[in-house]
Amino acid sequence: MTNKQPDRQNSRRYRYHATDTGARPIARRRSVNQRATDENVQEHNVRRERAASPDSPGRRVTMPHEAVQPLSWSERRERFRQPPASPSTHGRLVQRTLAQTGRPAPVGQMRVSRPLPRQRAGSSVPARSRQTRRGWRFWRKVLGFFAILAVVGGGISFALISPAFHVQQISIQGTQNAGLIAAVRHMGIQGQDIFLLNSSLVVARLDALPLVASADLGVQLPASVTVTIQERVPVLLWQAGRDIFGIGQDGVVIAQQSELSATDHLGLVVDKRPASKVHPGTRLNAADIAFVQQVFAQLPAIEDAAPFTLQYIESIAQGKQLVAANQAGSGSYVIVSVNGWQAYLGDAQNSTSLANRLQELREILSMARQQHLQLATIDLRFGSRVAYTLKP
């Protein structure tokens, strides 16, 4: 590499490298005839600062004291592959300020130092401090758990002891029967703790009442209970001795007729058994109740059958023998006519249908009317083997 003298242009451009780096170049005075615009001045200042900066990427010309042999291609490649001695740190570029330059600098940038790396949270806390904090968290959880237990226990105790949650009002819906309302109010519901009230047990006790077909219990906080009742409706009257009871569709003896309403239109069965034990709550055969209802509905249509009385007997005497009233049961229904004859129908368990038995009765009454016979008894219990007797 030969020594070359820089030309005038280059010497004029890079003359500031020979002086001290801290010295500032003397500003040229502008002549009156050569005035540059503000934009040219700013551009000139930028170029001058870049040339004076040691990190400026512009071209720099130095005069070596001795010739140095250039590196070969392999050496340059090996040098390129070697990692740098210290990693380069490039900060964020920001605009220069007046305090940094000493004069207004609307253009130009400088590098700011990179902020320190963030440390992990808790990394500066000693191990003993971490253990202390962990222990405090454990005891805080324990204390919180016991506090919750205390609150819950206090609430339960208040609910069980406080009179505000004891049943004070009982509302009864679905019935106007004074006796049934009084029975419900005397079941011991009032005064009980509303949270300890056994609803299923109360409903079972209500269903056990003869007057009740179904019941439901509703609880309203803090101290109110609603009892909804569906009454059992009588469909038949049953006379046992001097007492007359109403019978429900399911065969349950409801109550005495005097305690019921709208029962004058119902059919009456007179129980002639000597050891009849009928009282409210007794359950009769539901099939027999349906059988009797059909008798009261169909018998008035037969000529010479009405008016009549329907009785229930345990056994009948025929001749000198005591014959069971019904082979399939312990009793039989008997039609007692005002004309002086009696017809034994049996009950719902007979093999012959009620329609066939009533048809046989119709034919026998028609024959007796045509032949002017005085009937005494008619036995319709054995199907086609119909028997009748005449009055002497």
Angle formed by the axes of helices 354-371 and 286-298, to 10°?
40
Please state which CATH class domain 234-390 belongs to: alpha beta
Contacts of 45 (CB under 8 A, 6+ apart): 107, 108
What is the spatial distance between Cα 237 and Cα 308, in angstroms, rounded to a whole number?
A: 15
Q: What ranges do the domains of the chain cover?
A: 164-231, 234-390
Question: 28 near 36, Cβ under 8 Å?
Answer: no
On the question of pLDDT at 95 being above 80, the answer is no
| pLDDT at position 191 | 83
Strand partners of residue 219 = 225
Side chain identity at residue 354, one-letter code: L
Could you tell me what percent of the chain has a pLDDT over 90?
28
- Mean pLDDT is highest, among 92-101, 369-378, 379-388, for 369-378
| pLDDT at position 104 | 59
Contacts of 242 (CB under 8 A, 6+ apart): none
| pLDDT at position 38 | 62
| pLDDT at position 33 | 41
The residue assigned the tokens 């592959």 is 81
| pLDDT at position 266 | 93
What is the spatial distance between Cα 191 and Cα 193, in angstroms, rounded to a whole number?
A: 7
Instruction: Give the chain's mean pLDDT.
Output: 76
For residue 324, what are the CA distances in angstroms to 292, 327, 328, 329, 381? 20, 6, 9, 9, 11
| pLDDT at position 321 | 35
Could you tell me what percent of the chain has a pLDDT over 70?
64
Question: 312 near 271, Cβ under 8 Å?
Answer: yes
Q: What is the DSSP string of 331-349?
A: -EEEEEETTS-EEEEE-TT
- Mean pLDDT is highest, among 3-12, 243-252, 315-324, for 243-252
Q: Is 3 helix (H, G, I), strand (E, B) or coil?
A: coil
On the question of pLDDT at 185 being above 80, the answer is yes
On the question of pLDDT at 289 being above 50, the answer is yes
CA dihedral (294, 297, 298, 302) in degrees, to 10, reads 140
| Better-scored residue on pLDDT, 183 or 162 | 183
| pLDDT at position 107 | 57
Decide if 164-231 and 234-390 have a common fold.
Answer: no
What CATH number belongs to 164-231? 3.10.20.310
Give this prediction's pTM. 0.56
| pLDDT at position 13 | 47
| Better-scored residue on pLDDT, 74 or 82 | 74
For residue 314, give the nearest of 376, 271, 282 by alpha carbon: 271
On the question of pLDDT at 337 being above 70, the answer is yes
Strands (E), 282-330: 308-313, 315-318, 321-324
| Better-scored residue on pLDDT, 185 or 23 | 185
Whether the link from the prior residue into 54 is cis, omega within 30° of 0, is: no
| pLDDT at position 100 | 59
On the question of pLDDT at 222 being above 60, the answer is yes
Q: What is the DSSP string of 242-291?
A: TEEEEEETTSBEEEEGGGSSS-TTS-EEEE--TT----TT-B--HHHHHH
| Better-scored residue on pLDDT, 63 or 390 | 390
On the question of pLDDT at 196 being above 60, the answer is yes
Question: 383 near 327, Cβ under 8 Å?
Answer: no
On the question of pLDDT at 16 being above 90, the answer is no
Lowest mean pLDDT among 60-64, 143-147, 253-257: 60-64
What is the spatial distance between Cα 102 and Cα 91, in angstroms, rounded to a whole number?
A: 22
| pLDDT at position 157 | 67
Question: 184 near 206, Cβ under 8 Å?
Answer: yes
For residue range 315-327, what is the model confidence (pLDDT) as tens digits? 554 433 333 333 3
| pLDDT at position 53 | 59
User: Which pLDDT band, with edges at 50, 70 and 90, does 177 fall under?
Assistant: confident
On the question of pLDDT at 56 being above 70, the answer is no
User: Which pLDDT band, with edges at 50, 70 and 90, does 138 fall under?
Assistant: confident
| pLDDT at position 154 | 72
Burial of 36 (0-12, 13-18, 19+ CB in 10 A): exposed
For residue 237, give the nearest of 211, 267, 280 by alpha carbon: 267
